Amino acid sequence: MKYLKLFESWNPVSDSAFAEAQELHSIGVVSDQELEDLVRLKQIQHRILNYKGVGSLDLSFCNLLTGLPDGLTVNGFLDLTDCTGLRSLPAGLVVEDYLDLTDCTSLESLPADLKAGDDLILFGCSSLTSLPAGLVVGGQIYK
């Protein structure tokens, strides 16, 4: 779909792009599921933009999310379960608690300087073929 090209990188979805998708939905160009996915992406982006680094961050079940902003530090857990469009994580990502990447099927690699204070969960990450040498995990790695 044309509007999906707007979300190829970490750039928040503009209100005008969202309105365009809603208009396309009203004439049948955008399906109900595609509009639901876009609404979920807008919710996730709102959480990220308003996150102050305190507490956990649940971004799960957003298949249009393809990446995260640079410099992200999460003071609790980071849940990215079933973010099937997620292709990469930012360099320098620090998660003080566990990092759940279950079923992130498009994720091909992890940043070399990734730090997870507790478990790293990689079940169903079918495109991930290796782990970086500099990976720091305070708990277990589940894959």
Q: pLDDT (tens digit, 9 = 90+) per residue, 66-105?
A: 999 888 999 999 999 999 999 999 999 999 999 999 999 9
Is the separation of the CB atoms in 28 and 1 below 8 Å?
A: no
Complete edge-to-edge strand list for the sheet that includes strand 78-79:
57-58, 78-79, 99-100, 120-121, 141-142
Collect contacts of 89-92 with beta carbons under 8 A, ≥24 apart: 89/114
Is the pLDDT confidence value at 130 over 60? yes
Q: How confident is residue 11, by pLDDT bands cut at 50, 70 and 90?
A: low
Q: How far apart are CA 53 and CA 3, in angstroms?
A: 31
b vs e for 53-80, b when ≥16 Cβ sit within 10 Å of the residue's Cβ? eeeebebbbbbbbbbbeeebebbbbbbb
Is the pLDDT confidence value at 129 over 80? yes
State residue 36's pLDDT score. Answer: 80
Q: What is the pTM of this model?
A: 0.82
